[in-house]
């Protein structure tokens, strides 16, 4: 078992490295661009040339990637902090420390000064959404799956298909049209700043609702499928035949066994939420991580894009790791083999 | 289930959906018939999924919606609508729905109905074509991985895992922001992001079929590996693949919409639904119709594909 966990861990770390190399390759594919984008469009050509040689942009991609990793883990000094470049880049943490993500050319500060606050805002949004999606999906999925083919089942399933067909930006537009334009109950933007007259909690309602609407249907479908399968098993029939009330059959025998398969799906929702927040944060101008990635990509802020993607990948791979291990622990068939 | 399931080499981790593949593969776990069911299917040959489609109410509603948009898209040049980029500034005094402009005009005074119909033509060309390309790449990879196993499988699967470990929208944003938005680049991005998911499904299906008698028979006849993979194995995987294809087209429509909404969509000025929604949001507090109508168009078209996929899944479960 421990051996399997270690093997899984190593393979996920390798996946992570390969994925971050891919991002590095895409963003830094043309070296001339890297220097130009770091310095901005108005920098003199000499500075660009100096940075080009300073960063060793002539070297092949894998070497540059290794160097980037070196700066990241604190084994190498960040070349961008060299005063000779005229970047005026000052990092109070020094030029060599663990998790040195470099310098954001968009915000003109060290990446570490922007990224964690944004990540915290997104964690709040995604955490609230996750906290609503899971119980809602479990209840709906169990209700639908306990009597397959019933009216309730068909209703919940159709509801699930409809909500998963509405992308976040569309449901955002619908909700804004109803609750902001028509009823005037809620604010249309969520800058997380009480100055505009709307308390912070009211600014969270619509973004959270958008995420919940889009993701819940999918989890409901998974829970329903698993529940329906369990309810067709012989031990359920036995429990019913021995006279146990249907309610007890569902709660004691059905639910407990039906929760194993959806466990992974539920954890992997965290990954979908990372995707979902990009759009949701754009709809509501929410100062979060997803919007930051989009703005950084559009601006060409290479260091920030690489840092943010790496963090998103770590979250994604870590949840995958937890869900694989958890699945193995929950499922006796795998645990014992 | 009448016959005991045939043992397969599916290692347990394959059944665990990974993050990004899971959404378009929503029906995967439900749609994939067990090997025993497929074997029974091969002997009795009941009418194919597609031919039984009319018995599914949901699927027919979905087909109706898709046909509605397809007919509008095909007949767009002959419909009595404005050219999509024609600006009618006079109507901008009252941009809301009117007799001259049924769905109103957008921020540049262009007829929204015309732009939605021309946009349908665009999205209905790009999305299915992109999904098809993802299949053209994913199917051979999945077949190779499933049929040969061993090193080939390890290489294909590990490479796929790398792509599938990405939060998918972030991958799209980085790719398109770097290589620039164009129809070709968006299709390339869809193939890169979605191909590994296809490969994973095809690989799983191939592993289920790999040890069945008909494959052994073909090997005894000394058929080429190419023949066995594409003529014997692939057609026998078609049920779940058709369902997955429908879901994938729907998801690709969403993706194109999201890219448009994020400002990375098909290049203007030609109409693109996601871009229309985005342009409208600047006026949403005064004129919500500018965003609402294109958003409704996207939702209905995606719903159409998802309903067909759901109907197909239900039908394949009945077998």
User: Comparing B70 with A36, which gets the higher pLDDT?
Assistant: B70
pLDDT of A325: 84
Q: What is the pLDDT of residues B136-173, one digit of tens each?
A: 999 999 999 999 988 999 999 999 989 988 888 888 99
Mean per-residue pLDDT, B116-145? 93
Q: Which of B130, B127, B290, B141 is nearest to B202 (CA)?
A: B141
Closest-CA residue in chain B for A331?
B12
pLDDT of B188: 92
Q: Does position B23 have pLDDT exceeding 70, yes or no?
A: no
Asked if residue B287 belongs to a domain, the reply is yes
A324 touches chain B (CB under 8 A): yes
Q: Using alpha carbons only, what angle is made at residue B79 by residues B76 and B84, rounded to the nearest 5 degrees?
A: 60
Q: Which of B267, B242, B260 is nearest to B297 (CA)?
A: B260
Q: Which of A157, A132, A125, A124 is nearest to A225 (CA)?
A: A157
pLDDT of B142: 94
Parse chain A into domains and list their residue ranges: 2-105, 114-330
Q: Does position B33 have pLDDT exceeding 60, yes or no?
A: no
pLDDT of B85: 76
Query: How many interchain CB pairs under 8 A, A with B?
Result: 164
Q: Does position B109 have pLDDT exceeding 70, yes or no?
A: yes
pLDDT of A227: 87
Asked if residue B59 belongs to a domain, the reply is no
Distance from CA of B139 to the nearest CA of A (A): 22
Q: Does position B181 have pLDDT exceeding 90, yes or no?
A: no
pLDDT of B319: 62
Tokens of A223: 């829970």
Closest-CA residue in chain A for B253?
A167
Q: Do B16 and A324 touch (CB under 8 A)?
A: yes
As a whole number of Å, the CA-based R_g of chain B is 22
Distance from CA of A121 to the nearest CA of B (A): 18
- What are the contacts of B5-8 at 24+ separation with CB within 8 A? B5/B34, B5/B35, B5/B36, B6/B34, B6/B35, B6/B36, B6/B39, B6/B208, B6/B211, B6/B212, B7/B211, B8/B35, B8/B207, B8/B208, B8/B210, B8/B211
Asked if residue B70 belongs to a domain, the reply is no
* Other CB atoms within 10 Å distance of the CB of residue B118: 23
Q: Do A181 and B284 touch (CB under 8 A)?
A: yes
Mean per-residue pLDDT, B255-272? 87
As a whole number of Å, the CA-based R_g of chain A is 25
pLDDT of B26: 40
Where are the alpha helices (H) located in chain A, listed in sequence order?
Answer: 2-27, 31-39, 45-54, 61-73, 111-146, 151-164, 168-175, 200-231, 234-241, 246-248, 256-258, 260-283, 289-299, 302-330, 332-336
Return the SS3 of A112: helix
Q: Which residues of B touch A166 (CB under 8 A)?
A: 299, 302
Q: Using alpha carbons only, what angle is made at residue B102 by residues B101 and B104, rounded to the nearest 5 degrees?
A: 60
pLDDT per 10-residue tile (average), chain A, 337 residues: 84 90 84 72 77 78 86 79 68 78 82 89 92 92 87 90 92 91 84 76 89 90 87 85 85 80 80 85 90 88 89 89 82 59
Asked if residue B112 belongs to a domain, the reply is no
Q: Do A165 and B302 touch (CB under 8 A)?
A: yes
pLDDT of A97: 79
* Other CB atoms within 10 Å distance of the CB of residue B2: 6
Q: Using alpha carbons only, what angle is made at residue A232 by residues A229 and A233, rounded to the nearest 5 degrees?
A: 95
Asked if residue B116 belongs to a domain, the reply is no
Q: Which of B11, B9, B13 is nearest to B35 (CA)?
A: B9
Q: Closest partner residue to B173 among A162, A265, A294, by Cβ?
A: A294
User: Looking at residue B179, which CATH number applies to its domain?
Assistant: 1.10.3720.10
Distance from CA of A293 to the nearest CA of B (A): 8
Q: Return d(Cα A27, Cα A20) in angstroms, integer.
A: 11
Q: How far is CA A287 from the centre of its chain?
A: 15
Q: Return d(Cα B20, Cα B194) in angstroms, integer.
A: 9
Q: What is the pTM of this model?
A: 0.85
Asked if residue B81 belongs to a domain, the reply is no
Closest-CA residue in chain B for A170?
B295
Give the up-direction half-sphere exposure of residue A192: CA atoms within 13 A in the CB hemisphere: 13
Asked if residue B148 belongs to a domain, the reply is yes
Tokens of A196: 């505009």
Asked if residue B79 belongs to a domain, the reply is no
CATH topology of domain A114-330: MetI-like fold (1.10.3720)
pLDDT of B20: 40
Contact B285, B267 (CB under 8 A): no
Of A28-32, B223-227, B240-244, the poorest mean pLDDT is in A28-32
Domain extent, residue B274, equals 125-318
Distance from CA of A101 to the nearest CA of B (A): 18
A186 touches chain B (CB under 8 A): no
Contact A276, B168 (CB under 8 A): no
pLDDT of A172: 92
Q: Return d(Cα A157, Cα A151) in angstroms, integer.
A: 10
In whole numbers, what is the pLDDT of chain B averaged over residues? 81
- Domain count along chain B: 1
Contact A264, A324 (CB under 8 A): yes
């Amino acid at each position: 078992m421990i051996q399997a966990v270690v093997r899984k861990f190593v393979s996920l770390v390798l996946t992570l490295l390969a994925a971050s190399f891919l991002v590095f390759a895409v963003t830094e594919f043309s070296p001339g661009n890297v220097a130009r984008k770091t310095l901005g469009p108005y920098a003199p050509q000499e500075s660009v040339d100096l940075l080009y040689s300073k960063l060793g942009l002539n070297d092949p991609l894998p070497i540059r990637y290794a160097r980037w990793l070196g700066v990241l883990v604190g084994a190498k000094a960040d070349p961008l902090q060299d005063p000779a470049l005229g970047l005026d880049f000052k990092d109070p943490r020094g030029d060599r420390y663990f998790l040195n993500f470099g310098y954001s050319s968009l915000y003109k500060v060290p990446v570490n000064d922007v990224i964690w606050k944004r990540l915290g805002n997104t964690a709040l949004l995604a955490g609230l959404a996750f906290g609503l999606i899971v119980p809602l999906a479990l209840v709906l999925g169990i209700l639908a799956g306990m009597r397959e083919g019933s009216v309730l089942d068909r209703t919940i399933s159709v509801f699930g298909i409809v909500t998963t067909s509405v992308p976040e930006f569309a449901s955002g537009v619908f909700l804004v049209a109803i609750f902001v334009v028509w009823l005037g109950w809620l604010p249309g933007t969520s800058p997380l700043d009480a100055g505009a007259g709307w308390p912070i909690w009211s600014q969270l309602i619509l973004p959270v609702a958008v995420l919940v609407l889009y993701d819940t249907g999918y989890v409901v479908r998974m829970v329903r499928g698993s529940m329906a399968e369990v309810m067709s098993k012989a031990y359920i029939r036995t429990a019913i035949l021995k006279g146990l009330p249907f309610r007890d059959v569902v709660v004691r025998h059905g639910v407990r066994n039906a929760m194993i398969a959806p466990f992974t799906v539920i954890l992997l929702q965290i990954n979908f939420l990372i995707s979902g927040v990009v759009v949701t944060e754009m709809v509501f101008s929410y100062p979060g991580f997803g919007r930051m990635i989009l703005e950084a990509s559009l601006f060409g802020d290479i260091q920030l894009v690489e840092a943010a993607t790496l963090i998103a990948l770590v979250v994604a791979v870590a949840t995958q790791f937890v869900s694989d291990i958890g699945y193995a622990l929950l499922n006796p068939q795998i645990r014992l083999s | 289930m009448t016959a005991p399931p045939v043992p397969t080499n599916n290692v347990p981790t394959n059944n665990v959906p990974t993050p990004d593949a899971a959404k378009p593969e929503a029906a995967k776990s439900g749609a994939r018939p067990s090997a025993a069911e497929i074997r029974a299917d091969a002997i009795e040959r009941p009418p194919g999924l597609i031919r039984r489609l009319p018995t599914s109410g949901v699927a027919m509603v979905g087909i109706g919606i898709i046909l509605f948009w397809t007919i509008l898209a095909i007949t767009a040049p002959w419909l009595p609508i404005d050219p999509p980029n024609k600006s009618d500034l006079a109507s901008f005094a009252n941009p809301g729905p009117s007799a001259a402009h049924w769905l109103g005009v957008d921020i540049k005074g262009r007829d929204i109905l015309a732009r939605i119909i021309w946009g349908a033509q665009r999205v209905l060309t790009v999305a299915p074509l992109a999904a098809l390309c993802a299949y053209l790449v994913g199917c051979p990879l999945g077949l190779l991985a499933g049929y040969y196993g061993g090193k080939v499988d390890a290489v294909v699967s590990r490479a796929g895992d790398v792509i599938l470990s990405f939060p998918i929208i972030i991958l799209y944003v980085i790719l398109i922001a770097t290589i620039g938005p164009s129809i070709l680049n968006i299709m390339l991005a869809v193939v890169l992001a979605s191909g590994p998911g296809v490969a994973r499904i095809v690989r799983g299906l191939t592993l289920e079929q790999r040890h069945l008698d008909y494959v052994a028979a073909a090997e005894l006849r000394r058929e080429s590996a190419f023949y066995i993979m594409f003529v014997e194995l692939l057609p026998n995987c078609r049920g779940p693949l058709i369902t997955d294809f429908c879901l994938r087209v729907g998801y690709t429509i969403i993706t194109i919409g999201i890219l448009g909404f994020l400002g990375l969509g098909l290049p203007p000025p030609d109409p693109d639904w996601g871009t229309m929604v985005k342009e409208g949001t600047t006026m949403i507090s005064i004129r919500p119709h500018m965003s609402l109508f294109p958003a409704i168009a996207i939702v209905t078209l995606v719903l159409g594909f998802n309903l067909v996929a759901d109907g197909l899944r239900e039908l394949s479960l009945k077998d």
